[in-house]
């Protein structure tokens, strides 16, 4: 039967359709673990053994537990909280012959065909005008409000040979029969749901998402079908490991970066100073100096957690079987000669050895040698900090589909691996 870790992951994913909601759900987890909230603009006073968290808008979060030895280094586990999606263009009204659709823009690299003929809900943030200025509201329709209908096969007999969906034309979801209204359906809908006037809606960052919840299947519930496994599995793993870890000598840090799917160059992405700033402040707030901070970095370690491509029985020729991890056989260390993943020989060896000692199953992932590799927050995080590390991730199928697939046993092992790194170092 399935384990509690995978059930908790399903609840987490269902509560987190966008990075904003992921930060919200993460704060709920951290609050249950009695974490103390910090603000970037206030001075900090930090105590060993205490769990803290700090957020950076729009949707970054760093949580940490101060270690017992101030100069013994950081152990960092990171994951990205953004997902490929279709984002809404709020101001644009698209009505043809009374059929209203929403204008969209593609975020990251989704498998577009998987978004069609599927119940879609809407979530994100809406900025409202108030008497005091501007207010941010978190929004989630929860129920499906849109569908992107395919063209009948009778009008496109070759559709099963591959078809290009155009973001400005064929990917627009149908939402209403509309006549004569001033504003688009989405503006009218949001005003009603948020109990404000249509004119008060100033801006938004809203995405469509698969309204069907995560579910487990198989005779022994061995598989998870869910949206956003890449990379809410990683987010949940780094937070769960941190919340459940014992205080160690080193300060334990979990970071959720936004914007990985679009290159990480935002103020709370992996290609920013977010993590470096917070780590330095952790040293300074304990009475340390900048020299102490730089010394501590040289004693630190980083684990980047992101999904790995599992071996797919329907596309076996796409893989090098020696390096094609299987579902439910444990997290994989991700390797690439061109360092698209940050794992090098020494640090991979440390993780392999740690897994052997702890009885954690562990696999290796490499792309087939003639195919280009994806990348993660790993290389950016380790290079901007000057800290060694590894890339790991649970094996998964259908990465970047509106609905992805993973094994139900790997999440628990992934948490165990990160927790062990937090408690023991490497
Ligand atoms: Zn990812």
Cα of 234 to ligand 1 centre, how many Å? 8
Q: How many CA atoms lie within 13 A of 118 on its CB side?
A: 19
Cα of 283 to ligand 1 centre, how many Å? 30
Residues with CB under 5 A from ligand 1 (ion): 230-231, 306
- Asked whether the beta carbons of 389 and 381 are under 8 A apart, the reply is yes
> Which structure tokens are listed for 109?
């690299």
Cα of 181 to ligand 1 centre, how many Å? 40
User: Strands 74-80, 251-257: parallel, antiparallel or unpaired by DSSP?
Assistant: parallel
Instruction: Please tell me the distance from the alpha carbon of residue 84 to that of residue 89, in angstroms, as a whole number.
Output: 16
Q: Which residues does residue 75 pair with via DSSP β-bridges, in sequence order?
A: 252, 301
Cα of 250 to ligand 1 centre, how many Å? 27
| Model confidence pLDDT, tens digit, residues 264-288 | 999 999 999 999 999 999 999 999 9
Q: What's the pLDDT band for 2 if we cut at 50, 70, 90?
A: confident
Cα of 353 to ligand 1 centre, how many Å? 25
Q: What's the pLDDT band for 179 if we cut at 50, 70, 90?
A: confident
Instruction: Please tell me the distance from the alpha carbon of residue 128 to that of residue 197, in angstroms, as a whole number.
Output: 9
Q: For residue 407, give the H/E element and its range.
A: strand 404-407
Mean pLDDT score of the chain: 97
Cα of 376 to ligand 1 centre, how many Å? 6
% residues pLDDT > 70 (the chain):
100
329 alpha carbon, distance to own chain's centre: 22
Cα of 172 to ligand 1 centre, how many Å? 25
Site of tokens 């061109």: 338
Cα of 32 to ligand 1 centre, how many Å? 27
| Model confidence pLDDT, tens digit, residues 66-110 | 999 999 999 999 999 999 999 999 989 999 999 999 999 999 999
Asked if residue 238 has pLDDT above 70, the reply is: yes
Cα of 331 to ligand 1 centre, how many Å? 14
Helix or strand or coil: residue 65? Answer: strand
SS3 helix, strand, coil % of the chain, rounded to 5? 30, 25, 40
Question: What does the pLDDT average to over 255-269?
Answer: 96
Question: What does the pLDDT average to over 353-375?
Answer: 96
Instruction: Identify the pLDDT of residue 293.
Output: 97
Cα of 170 to ligand 1 centre, how many Å? 26
Instruction: Identify the pLDDT of residue 271.
Output: 94
DSSP track, 122-182: EEEEEEEE-SSSEEEEEEE--S--BBBPPPPGGG-TTGGG--PPPTTTTTPPEEEE--S-S
> Which structure tokens are listed for 114?
């998987």
| Model confidence pLDDT, tens digit, residues 376-414 | 999 999 999 999 999 999 999 999 999 999 999 999 999
Domains (ranges, CATH) in the chain?
4-83+227-424 (3.40.630.10), 85-210 (2.30.250.10)
Q: How many CA atoms lie within 13 A of 10 on its CB side?
A: 21
Cα of 80 to ligand 1 centre, how many Å? 7
* Angle subtended by helix axes 229-244 and 19-32, to nearest 10: 20
- Asked whether the beta carbons of 230 and 402 are under 8 A apart, the reply is no
Q: What's the pLDDT band for 182 if we cut at 50, 70, 90?
A: confident
Site of tokens 């589909």: 401
200 alpha carbon, distance to own chain's centre: 31
Q: What's the pLDDT band for 1 if we cut at 50, 70, 90?
A: low
Instruction: Identify the pLDDT of residue 166.
Output: 95
Cα of 270 to ligand 1 centre, how many Å? 12
Question: What does the pLDDT average to over 149-164?
Answer: 96
Cα of 241 to ligand 1 centre, how many Å? 19
Classify residue 217 by its DSSP letter. E
Cα of 398 to ligand 1 centre, how many Å? 12
Cα of 138 to ligand 1 centre, how many Å? 24
Could you give the dihedral angle defined by the CA atoms of residues 406, 409, 410 and 415, in that order, rounded to the nearest 10 degrees?
130
Cα of 295 to ligand 1 centre, how many Å? 31
Closest listed residue to residue 196, CA positions, set 136, 120, 124: 136
Cα of 130 to ligand 1 centre, how many Å? 37
Asked if residue 173 has pLDDT above 70, the reply is: yes
Q: Report pTM.
A: 0.97
Sign of CA dihedral 315, 316, 319, 324: positive
């Amino acid at each position: 039967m399935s384990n509690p870790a995978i059930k908790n992951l399903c609840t987490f994913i269902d509560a987190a359709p966008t990075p904003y909601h992921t930060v919200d759900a993460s704060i709920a987890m951290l609050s249950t673990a009695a974490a103390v909230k910090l603000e970037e603009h206030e001075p900090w006073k930090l105590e060993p053994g205490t769990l803290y968290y700090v957020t950076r808008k729009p949707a970054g979060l760093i949580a940490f537990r101060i270690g017992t030895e101030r100069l013994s280094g950081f152990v960092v586990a990171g994951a990205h909280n953004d997902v490929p999606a279709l984002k809404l263009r709020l101001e644009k009204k698209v009505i043809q012959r009374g059929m209203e659709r929403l204008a969209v823009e593609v975020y990251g690299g989704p498998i577009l065909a998987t978004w069609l003929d599927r119940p879609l809900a809407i979530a994100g943030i809406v900025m409202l005008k108030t008497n005091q200025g501007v207010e941010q509201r978190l929004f989630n329709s929860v129920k499906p409000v849109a569908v992107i209908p395919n063209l009948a096969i009778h009008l496109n007999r070759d559709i099963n040979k591959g078809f290009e969906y155009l973001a400005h034309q064929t990917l627009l979801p149908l939402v209403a029969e509309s006549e004569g209204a001033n504003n688009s359906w989405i503006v009218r809908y949001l005003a009603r749901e948020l109990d404000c006037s249509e004119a008060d809606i100033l801006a938004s960052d809203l995405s469509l998402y698969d309204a069907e919840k995560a579910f487990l299947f198989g005779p022994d519930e061995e598989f998870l079908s869910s949206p956003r496994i890449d990379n809410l599995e990683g987010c949940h793993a780094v937070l769960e490991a941190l919340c459940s870890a014992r205080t160690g000598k080193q300060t334990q840090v979990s970071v959720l970066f936004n914007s990985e799917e679009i290159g990480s160059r935002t103020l709370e992405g992996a290609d920013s100073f977010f993590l470096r700033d917070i780590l330095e402040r952790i040293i300074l707030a304990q009475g340390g100096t900048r020299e102490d901070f730089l010394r501590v970095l040289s004693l630190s370690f980083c684990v980047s957690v992101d999904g790995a491509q599992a071996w797919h029985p329907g596309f076996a020729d796409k893989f090098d079987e020696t390096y094609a991890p299987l579902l439910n056989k444990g997290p994989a260390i991700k390797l690439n000669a061109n360092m698209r993943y940050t794992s090098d020989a020494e640090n991979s060896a440390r993780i392999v050895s740690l897994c052997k000692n702890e009885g954690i199953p562990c696999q290796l992932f490499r792309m087939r040698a003639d195919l280009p590799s994806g990348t993660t927050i790993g290389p950016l995080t380790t290079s901007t900090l000057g800290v060694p590390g590894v890339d790991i991730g649970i094996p998964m199928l259908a990465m970047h589909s509106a609905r992805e697939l993973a094994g139900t046993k790997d999440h628990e092992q992934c948490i165990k691996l990160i927790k062990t790194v937090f408690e023991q170092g490497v």
